[in-house]
Structure 1
Amino acid sequence: MRPAAVTRPVSVTPSAPTVLDLMDLEEIDRDLFRVRVVFDDRYALYGGQVAAQALLAAGRTVPEGRVPHSLHGYYLRLGDASRPTIFRVDRDRDGRSFSARRVVAVQGGKVIFNMSVSFQVPEPGVDVTAEPMPPLAAPDTLTEVRLSRPVSFEARAERAPAPGVDFPTRLWARCTTALPDDPLLHAVILTYLSDSVAGLAPYHSATARSGSSLDHAVWFHRHIRMDDWVLMDHVPRTIAGGRGWYTGTIHARDGVLGASLAQEALFRPPVDHPRRPWSGDQP
């Protein structure tokens, strides 16, 4: 019987961690992982972070050479960046070409996020993209914009596409931390970035705007490097019932379509929700 790994204290970094620090997961038992690096944050745990860490935990359990091709996650409770998150992976199936996993993220004994993710052995075949990458000037010629949640990223964008829009839904982004040649890690970093732009921004107003993410899906089409410029292009689709839904794409600088995404988020009157003493429940 394999002995359980010896657990070590979760470290709190005195300065801002890098994205690779955040993706440092400790295996505390078979299919059970814990975040090592935590930090104080005024707001709730960034959704892209917990989704990326869940994908990484799942990827640690699949046969070598299999890469993620899709994930579907639900945000159930607000998380706390200053507390360690535990990830439990269930190995649903390992077939000849595909592996299916389910991941549950837990803080304080409560589930804050769950995810289904599928992996595949890469294979050759037809390679077609129906729509080309949308036109945008080279990132080095554009104005720098600040991404408020993801660390280790810089972004560039043209002016907002419409008057009054408070943040662009189409922009270039690049990880400023050098990444190793690991397709799983690049998919993880893509997932980390994918929750950073409010795709419903064109409909923000004084009376309603995007709130907490509810669910998130990513389809990985081709391997692209995240430490080079990628183009994020989000399109709002509909708002109803206090929720808004948008879709998006992530292209490499050379036009290769790396991933597509879809997300639903709350769309309600704006409220500033700084992180409060731990309760584990979404407001």
Structure 2
Amino acid sequence: MPHSPVPAMQQLLTILDLEALEQDLFRGTSPQVGWQRVFGGQVIGQALVAAQRTVAADRPVHSLHAYFMRPGDPAAPIIYEVDRIRDGLSFATRSVVAIQHGKAIFSLSASFQKEEEGMEYQAAIPQAPAPEDLPDREQMREAFLAGAPDHVRSYWERERPIEVRPLSLDHYLSDRKLAAEQKVWVRTTAPVPDDRIIQAAILAYLSDMTLLDTALFAHGRSVFDRTLQVASLDHAMWFHRPCKLDDWLLYSMDSPNTNGARGFTRGSLYQRDGTLIASVAQEGLIRDRSKA
């Protein structure tokens, strides 16, 4: 009998469970879903798991800063080499290099802190309709995908570990120049283990979804435009509060700048109850090949 396909969320949990090769040396793999390169959020998540496994359990991650150097090869394993930069009384710092075919494809620096009390403040959650009031996957397929190009349709129809419900699909359906901001609701498609390492890694994974798209809105272009070369260059993330990922999250994004074939974007991730759990910043390559 043919094997049933592994659910996408189970695939994600499996690839985040890195194989330990030696002290501070780990190996990760990629799901075989027909992509030409490894999804950036996957590499961020795996590198974060590698770093966290070398840090005391009472020091969760509070920030990471990463650079993408080369596209990852989905068919080859990725080796993660961790450098224990510092272990202080409250903070720990780690550096991780991801290697494929003998070359670095990605680097990450992350900082970890013992939890402690401090002054509390956060920005309020933006106004947005509830995710239940937005089109679900089937409704989006009926309303949007019927006339969409094959490569757009295959992206949205593919089973993914994260469900995305955009507040608007205007930027996919029109070439009008729009405000460089968007909001989407996101959630995992299956339960997440009660493990803060895995929860932080999945949050990092999903933070790379839809973010760079926002930089294209002001130009009336879409990430699906095949005349554009679009790729993440760097990624920074700050983890403000823990999150069990057991409900929808509102991802609010904006892009204040594009120039020099780069687009800069910012994002905030909120729980449904308004709790701000993480902030994100990213710059990506946006190269218009039609003008080359």
TM-score (norm 2): 0.81
Whether the 8 Å contact between 1:48 and 1:196 is mirrored in structure 2 is yes
CA RMSD of aligned residues (A): 2.6
Matched length = 258
3-state SS of paired residue (1:20): helix
Describe the SS at the equivalent of 2:121.
coil
- Structure 1 vs Structure 2: percent identity of aligned residues? 40
1:245–1:37 Cα change, 3 Å: closer
* 1:210 and 1:244 in contact (8 A); partners too: no
Tell me what 1:186 maps to.
Answer: 199
Report how far residue 181 of structure 1 moved.
1.6
Deviation of 1:237 after TM superposition, in Å, equals: 1.1
Structure 1 residues 150 and 85: alpha-carbon distance in aligned structure 2, compared to 1, 3 A threshold: farther
What is the Cα deviation at residue 267 of structure 1? 1.3
1:168-187 equivalences in 2 (<5 Å): 169-187=182-200
Q: TM-score, normalised by structure 1?
A: 0.83
CA distance in 2, matches of 1:62, 1:48: 21
The answer to whether structure 1 residue 35 and structure 2 residue 28 are counterparts is yes
Asked if structure 2 preserves the Cα contact closer than 8 Å seen for 1:24 and 1:37, the reply is: no
Equivalent residue in structure 1 for 2:276, among 253, 257, 263:
257
Per-residue CA deviations over 1:244-269 (Å, capped at 9, x if unaligned) read 10111001111100000100001121
Kept in 1, the 8 Å contact 2:235–2:282? The answer is: yes
Partner in structure 2 of residue 143 of structure 1: 135
> Partners in 2 of 1:259 and 1:156 — Cα distance?
19
- Structure 2 partner of 1:222: 241
Match for residue 66 of structure 2 among 73, 76, 80: 73
Instruction: Say which is worse superposed, 64-73 or 181-190, in terms of deviation.
Output: 181-190
Where in structure 2 are the equivalents of 1:1-283 lying within 5 Å? 15=6, 17=8, 18-36=11-29, 38-129=31-122, 131-144=123-136, 151-160=160-169, 164=176, 169-197=182-210, 198-205=213-220, 211-269=230-288
Q: Aligned pair in 2 of structure 1 residues 210, 65: CA closer, same or farther (>3 Å)?
A: farther
Q: Give the superposition deviation at 1:203.
A: 2.7
| Conserved? CA contact 1:153–1:174, under 8 Å | yes
Q: Name the SS of the counterpart of 1:61 in structure 2.
A: coil
**1:201, distance to aligned residue in structure 2 (A):** 3.2
Cα deviation code 1:83-114 (max 9, x no counterpart): 11010000000111100000000111110000
Measure, in 1, the Cα distance between the counterparts of 2:82 and 2:74: 21
Are 2:26 and 2:80, in contact at CA under 8 Å, matched by a contact in 1?
yes
Instruction: Give the CA deviation at 1:120.
Output: 0.5
Task: Read off the aligned partner of 2:246 and give its amino acid letter.
Answer: D
Which amino acid in 2 is paired with 1:218? M
Higher helix content, 1 or 2: 2
Instruction: Work out the CA distance in 1 between the residues paired with 2:132 and 2:35.
Output: 32
Q: 1:262 and 1:188, CA in 2 relative to 1: closer, same or farther beyond 3 A? A: same
Cα 1:232/1:30, change in 2 over 3 Å: same
Contact 2:181-2:255 within 8 A present in 1 as well = no
Q: Retained in 1: the 8 A contact 2:30–2:74?
A: no
Aligned partners of 2:229, 2:266: CA distance in 1, in Å? 14
Once residues 16 and 245 of structure 2 are traced to their aligned partners in structure 1, the CA distance between those partners, rounded to angstroms, is 14
Structure 2: which 5+ runs fail to align?
141-154
- How far residue 139 of structure 1 moved from its aligned partner, in angstroms, is 0.7
What displacement does 1:119 show? 0.4
Amino acid at match of 1:83: A
The one-letter code of the counterpart of 2:165 is R
Residues 135 and 268 of structure 1: CA distance in aligned 2, closer, same or farther (over 3 Å): same
Counterpart AA for 2:54: T
Q: Given residue 131 of structure 2, which amino acid in structure 1 is its aligned partner?
A: P
What is the distance in 2 between the residues matched to 1:165 and 1:43? 29
